[in-house]
Amino acid sequence: MADAITKISIIISKGSLDGIYPGLIMANGARAEGIEANLFFTFFGLDAIHKERHEHIKMATVGNPGLHVPTMLGGLPGVSSVMTKYMNHKMEELDIPSIPEFVEMIADTGAGMYACLASVDLFGLEKNDFIDQVQDIITVGEFYEIAAGGQIIFT
């Protein structure tokens, strides 16, 4: 297989449950296939590696037509929490790890984890706000250096 994928870099830019999981699943799946993988967290995606916030990632219930909940309803207090609970419960049944557990597992597989410097500055965060698995806070240029020779996936 001359054109097999051997390296990928996945950018996670959204901070909702449905915005974070796909990138994590793809990174984990890549490592399982022996593909080198790096994760780059930017903008609201930073919540996935934020010590305090990553345990409280919520489903987007407004502006999310795929959920089939009317926007007016989705915006009511508590709806996002209830939907998140339901989704977490469904995933637990399928033995899909929670976001904190999943991120730790992916780091254990040897995947690289990086935070985006511009976003970290924008939100007034520092290295200390992130879980220990985050290797570094890097610039876009450094990300491209790390991603060199592989494919880049933006989520």
Site of interaction with other proteins (CB under 8 A): 25, 28-29, 31-34, 94-97, 105, 108-110
Strand order in the sheet with 7-12: 136-138, 112-116, 36-41, 7-12, 151-154
Give 38's strand partners.
Answer: 9, 112
Residue 43: name the closest of 66, 23, 68, 67 by CA.
23
**Nearer to other proteins (CB atom), residue 87 or residue 117:** 87
Distance CA 142, CA 60 (A): 31
Residue 53 CB, nearest distance to other proteins (Å)?
22
Residue 32 CB, nearest distance to other proteins (Å)?
5
Residue 25 CB, nearest distance to other proteins (Å)?
6
What residues contact 34, with CB distance under 8 A and at least 6 apart? none
**Nearer to other proteins (CB atom), residue 28 or residue 84:** 28
**Nearer to other proteins (CB atom), residue 72 or residue 94:** 94
**Nearer to other proteins (CB atom), residue 96 or residue 152:** 96
Residue 96 CB, nearest distance to other proteins (Å)?
6
